[in-house]
Amino acid sequence: MVGAGVLSLPYAMAHMGWGLGITVMILSWVITLYTLWKMVEMHEMVPGGKRLDRYHELGQEAFGEKLGLWIVVPQQLLVIVYMVTGGKSIKKVHETFCHECTPIKTSYWIMVFASVNFVLTQLPNFNSISAISLGAAVMSLTYSFIAWGASIKKGITPDVSYNVKMKSTSDGVLNFFSALGDVAFAYAGHNVVLEIQATMPSTAEKPSKVPMWKGCIWAYVGVAICYFPVAFVGYYMFGNMVDDNILITLEHPAWLIAIANLFVVIHVVGGYQVFAMPVFDMIETYLVTRLNFSPSSTLRVMTRTLFVGISILFFGSLLGFLCGFAFSPTLYFLVLFYTYLQLPCFIWLKLKKPRKYGLSWTINWICIVIGVLIMTQSPIGALRNIIVSAKNYKFFS
């Protein structure tokens, strides 16, 4: 549940200030937990004992066979963005350990990250990657602790300022929505919650939503332990001078920051396995049910190897755009806000059909309207960031 975006939360606070920043941090935690509860509840909402074991199945149940796929599947394919995050994290580790070494392009580090996934993606299901997922969770807790612990050790920056960073009013507005994107980028889990819940036994007496919801609560306790100290302590210590990654601002001790970046790499490797699993399941199910392939280890190896390989080739031609997408929080925010807030509310209204103007109906429509209002403001900053990133980023030059 903890995303590597936690390290950018102090930077997001610098664009919002104390009042708005604290409000957004708390509201984002509450809202994403609320919509996660909706996802857990909708897993067995359809009468007749049918379980919606896949996110795209939930979309199809609400929006139809074809439209449901077009709405949900693109969100799950965004797992390829982890390639960029993983590559940049490995590059940071290398540069921290070896200052005098010749710089290596980010694109090559992306390939190094992909090479690890060629092997780990062959693990067949969620149960087989439980140890990797546990390791990734421990790493996220550890580097979050290092981030705020080292900040306290370093102390408050001389002449620290908490004034919101902006050159003009319009720039401040764009930066605010970019900060919202940073916060949204830090959250994860909705894309795989149904697939994880599908691994649990369920009966009328003991439905799977009971243990699943307990797991979600504990996961969000972990999110709060990681996110709030990093965001608030980091901003308190460095003010509006904090970098977009708090580990960059810290710099010293170098060995500790290098270890923290290494933990980020391990965490992203684990995260890729978790978020890619529904994609692999979807592809392999299609090959078996529609194209009459025989389910086998050979099919799994070929499918997953091709997926990782094609991802690398895909980056070769569109890396500039994807880097702009991955590291343009305003655009990524569009997708995440839709995934974490609006889509669950739409599906809930479609399947649950709450009483019109009742409490549940009102809350869901308030969430949807807020999402629409924010999303209409975000594309301008997103387009700006993509254009700049696409111009400045080249793959092999």
User: Number of helices (H) and strands (E), helices first, in the chain?
Assistant: 17, 0
Rounded CA-CA distance 22/230 in Å is 12
364 — pLDDT class (breaks 50, 70, 90): low
SS3 187: strand
Mean pLDDT for the chain overall? 77
Q: What percent of the chain has pLDDT over 90?
A: 4
d(CA 103, CA 369): 47
Tell me the pTM.
Answer: 0.76
End-to-end CA distance of the chain: 36
Residue 12 has pLDDT above 60, yes or no: yes
For the purposes of burial, counting CB atoms within 10 Å of the CB of 19, is it exposed (0-12), middle (13-18) or buried (19 or more)? Answer: exposed
**298 or 80: which carries more pLDDT confidence?**
298
pLDDT at 393: 41
Alpha-carbon span 198 to 192, nearest angstrom: 10
Mutual angle of helices 329-337 and 359-375, in 10-degree steps: 160
Are the beta carbons of 85 and 272 closer than 8 angstroms? no
Per-residue pLDDT tens digits for 105-162: 877 888 888 888 888 889 888 888 889 888 888 888 888 888 888 888 888 888 888 8
CA distance 131 to 267: 12
- Residue 59 to residue 254: CA distance in whole angstroms: 47
pLDDT at residue 328, as a whole number: 41
pLDDT digits (tens, 9 = 90+) for 69-109: 777 777 777 777 778 778 888 888 888 777 778 888 877 88
What is the distance between the alpha carbons of residues 119 and 261, in angstroms, rounded to a whole number? 22
User: How high is the pLDDT of residue 346?
Assistant: 63
